[in-house]
Amino acid sequence: MQSKLVTAALLGALAASPALAAPKDDAALAGFKGSFRDKNEATVERLEQSEAQRLCTQDGQKPLKPAQRKKIEAQATAAVVYPADGNYLGDWKEGEKIAQSGRGMQSSDPKGTAAGGNCYACHQLDKKEIAFGNIGPSLHNYGKLRGGPTPEMLKYTWAKVYNSHAFQACSVMPRFGAAGILTEKQLKDVMSLLLAPESPVNQ
Ligand code: HEC
């Protein structure tokens, strides 16, 4: 549990921390990149920042201008891929396993390991789980507080989990759909965990 929390914190930090922002001169950047190697599920191409990450970690960490933030959010929103069959919900029990799992995309994961979402590393979900991080807001009662799985909530929640930058330009939450971390089926299972009335999140 502990190492899972640490990993997620590091992943978040890599995306947005001033201290870990990519070095600015080309030689330093090349040296930085050259010190990494592909190993199992961890691949060097992940050092390439998306345009949004680049803007959010630029020199001096100056807050982005409102127009820049809006542009990043609009681009992220436009690129969200909604479920092909129009059905947003899966199995909350599988969703809970995904939320608990910090596996995937690490050098210790053999190729083909299914990734987890590691949601507990940053969020409270089921109130019976006592090990959770607080980088993100508590999601306990997420569905209940928002009136359940209405069409608007389904769409908003899917887009947020698919690409967190859609609503928060410089979010540190992983882009679970856009970055290919979770499959469409896994996203549906996590949606049920958040929104199904019978899910422990809403008890
Ligand atoms: C590295 C930390 C981190 C991880 C891991 C993470 N989140 Fe988040 N999440 C955040 C932060 C921070 C926010 C607050 C908004 C923002 O900055 O994007 C957030 C916001 C959200 C929201 C919007 C809440 C609202 O009130 O509208 C949802 C839904 C959500 N996360 C779901 C998830 C799910 C599901 C997972 C796992 C699949 C997950 N998050 C994993 C950090 C994280």
Mutation to probe ligand 1, out of 123, 172, 182, 191 (largest number of atoms < 8 A from CB): 123
Q: pTM for the full model?
A: 0.88
φ/ψ (deg, to 5) at 102: -100, 10
* CA 122 to ligand 1 center in whole angstroms: 7
| Distance from chain centroid for Cα 86 | 22
What is the atom index within ligand 1 of the atom nearest the CA of 157?
29
Q: What is the mean pLDDT of the chain?
A: 88
Q: What angle in degrees, to the nearest 10, is found between the helix axes of 92-100 and 184-195?
A: 100
Report the nearest-CA residue for atom 36 of ligand 1: 119
pLDDT of residue 28: 83
Q: What is the pLDDT of residue 1?
A: 42
Cα–Cα distance measured from residue 60 to residue 70, given in angstroms and rounded to the nearest whole number: 20
Contact 164, 174 (CB under 8 A): yes
Q: Where are the alpha helices (DSSP H) in 2-150?
A: 2-16, 26-34, 51-56, 66-78, 92-100, 142-145
DSSP summary character for residue 42: B
- The yes-or-no verdict on residue 11 having pLDDT over 80 is no
The pLDDT of residue 6 is 44
Tell me the mean pLDDT in the region 107-132.
95
CA of 109 to the centre of ligand 1 (A): 24
Atom 38 in ligand 1: residue holding the nearest Cα? 117
Q: For residues 92 and 192, is the Cβ–Cβ distance under 8 A?
A: yes
| Euclidean distance between CA atoms 154 and 157, whole angstroms | 5
pLDDT band of 24, cuts 50, 70, 90:
low
Query: Average pLDDT for residues 103-115, to the nearest whole number?
Result: 90
Just give the CATH number of 1-203: 1.10.760.10
- Please say if the pLDDT value at position 22 is more than 60: no
E strand or H helix that includes residue 170: none
Least confident of 39-53, 87-101, 111-125, 157-171: 39-53
Between the alpha carbon of residue 147 and those of residues 90, 119, 144, 159, 199, the distances in Å are 18, 22, 5, 18, 14
Say which residue the tokens 């640490």 belong to. 6
Report which protein residue has its CA nearest ligand 1's atom 12: 136
Pocket-forming residues, ligand 1, beta carbon under 6 Å: 8, 11-12, 99, 117-119, 121-123, 135-137, 139, 157, 160-161, 164, 168, 171-174, 176, 190, 194
Task: Return the domain boundaries, the chain.
Answer: 1-203
Amino acid at 161: V
Confidence of residue 96 (pLDDT cuts 50, 70, 90): very high
Compute, in angstroms, the gap from residue 124 CA to the centroid of ligand 1: 10
Of the two residues 106 and 98, the one the predictor is more confident about is: 98
Ligand 1 atom closest to the CA of 170, numbered from 1: 17
Nearest CA to ligand 1 atom 40: 119
Q: Return d(Cα 105, Cα 90) in angstroms, integer.
A: 23
pLDDT exceeds cutoff 50 at 87: yes
CA of residue 198 to ligand 1 center, whole Å: 21
pLDDT at 75 over 90: yes
- DSSP conformational letter for 129: -
